[in-house]
Amino acid sequence: MRSHETRVEIDAPIEDVWKALTDAAEAARWFAPKMEIDLRPGGEHVADWGPGLRWRTTVEVVERLKHLRLGEVRDEVFSAAAERRKLPSARLVQEYYLETENGRTVLRMVHSGFGSAEAWDEEYEGTRQGWRACFLRMKLMLERHRGEVARNFIVSKHMLGVSRAEALAVVRSAAPAGLSMVFDGETEFAGVVPDWNHSVFNVSSQTVTGGCMLYFEFVLWGVEESRAEAIREEWSSKFE
C-alpha cells in the first residue's frame, strides 16, 4: 500500500474550510463542476467533471471540523479516454485532517491504498501532483474570491502521437499571458492568471494508447459568463 500527503495553510476560519470540503455547492467552487455529498457514514460523495470523469467515493468517517474519510474500491484508470484500462483492484482512502495553527487553518490530506503493481504508478503520481492544484484553488477561493461567481469547467484533449512530456511542453509555451506559475511538475502544472481575475490555470496529463490525454481545468472567479465561454472555446480548439 502506498500513500502521499498534501498540506496547505489557508487564511480562513476552520468552519469555512470544512464547509468547502463538505458542502456540495461550496465544493463545486473549487473542485468538480458538479458535486453531490451525503455527509453521513455510508453516504455517497460524487465529483463529476463530465463523461468518463465521474468519481464516486463513500463517506466513512465524519468528525466535524476535524476529520473526513472517503473510501473506494477501484479496478480501472480514471480517464476521459474512450478506452477503459483495467487495474489490479485496490481500496483507496482519502483522509482529510483540519486544525488551527497561528490563526490559520491547516488542511492535511493523506491519499492511500494505491496498489503496489506498476500499473498504479501513474495514478499515484498524478494524484500526488493533482491535489496540489486542487488545494491551490481552494486556498484562492477562500482567501481572495469570497462571494464571487465561479465558472468551473474542464476541457479534455486526446493528443495522438505525442508523449505527456511533449504535450505539456507545447502547452507551457502557449500558456495565457502573464501566467504566474505556482508549481510545475512532470505530469501537471498550475499557476495564476492575473488577466482572469487571478484565477487558476491548471493542466494535467495522462498516458493513453497511442498518445496522451490533456486536461485543462478552469475555475474562473468573478469572470463574466460570456468571457468564460470564450476561454472555453479557445482552449477547446487550440491544439486541433
* pTM of the shown model: 0.94
Q: Which domains does the chain have, with CATH numbers?
A: 2-237 (3.30.530.20)
Q: Quick one: pLDDT at residue 18? A: 98
Q: Quick one: pLDDT at residue 204? A: 95
Q: Quick one: pLDDT at residue 16? A: 98
Q: Quick one: pLDDT at residue 116? A: 86
Phi, psi of 19 (to 5 degrees): -65, -40
Q: In whole angstroms, what is the distance from residue 100 CA to residue 160 CA?
A: 47
Q: Are 96 and 67 in contact (CB under 8 A)?
A: yes
Per-residue pLDDT, averaged over 35-47, amounts to 98
Q: In the structure, what pLDDT confidence band is assigned to residue 135 with cuts at 50, 70 and 90?
A: very high
pLDDT, one tens digit per residue, over 158-174 is 999 999 999 999 999 99
**Exposure string over 127-154, b if 16+ CB within 10 A, otherwise e:** bbbbbbbbbbbbbbbbeebeeeebbbbb
Residue 30 has pLDDT above 80, yes or no: yes
- Other beta carbons within 10 angstroms of residue 16's beta carbon come to 15
Q: What percent of the chain has pLDDT over 90?
A: 92
Give the closest residue to 69 by CA, choosing from 98, 99, 105: 98
pLDDT, one tens digit per residue, over 46-85 is 999 998 899 999 999 999 999 999 999 999 999 998 888 8
Q: In the structure, what pLDDT confidence band is assigned to residue 115 with cuts at 50, 70 and 90?
A: confident
Strand partners, 6: 109
Q: In the structure, what pLDDT confidence band is assigned to residue 239 with cuts at 50, 70 and 90?
A: confident
Strand, helix or coil for residue 187: coil
Concatenated DSSP letters of 21-56:
HH-HHHHTTTS-SEEEE--STT-EEEEE-STT-EEE
Burial class (CB in 10 A: 0-12, 13-18, 19+), 174: exposed
Q: Which residue has the cell 453531490?
A: 36
Length of the chain: 240
Q: Are 41 and 59 in contact (CB under 8 A)?
A: yes
Give the closest residue to 35 by CA, choosing from 219, 226, 181, 164: 219
Residue 149 has pLDDT above 90, yes or no: yes
Q: In whole angstroms, what is the distance from residue 143 CA to residue 137 CA?
A: 10
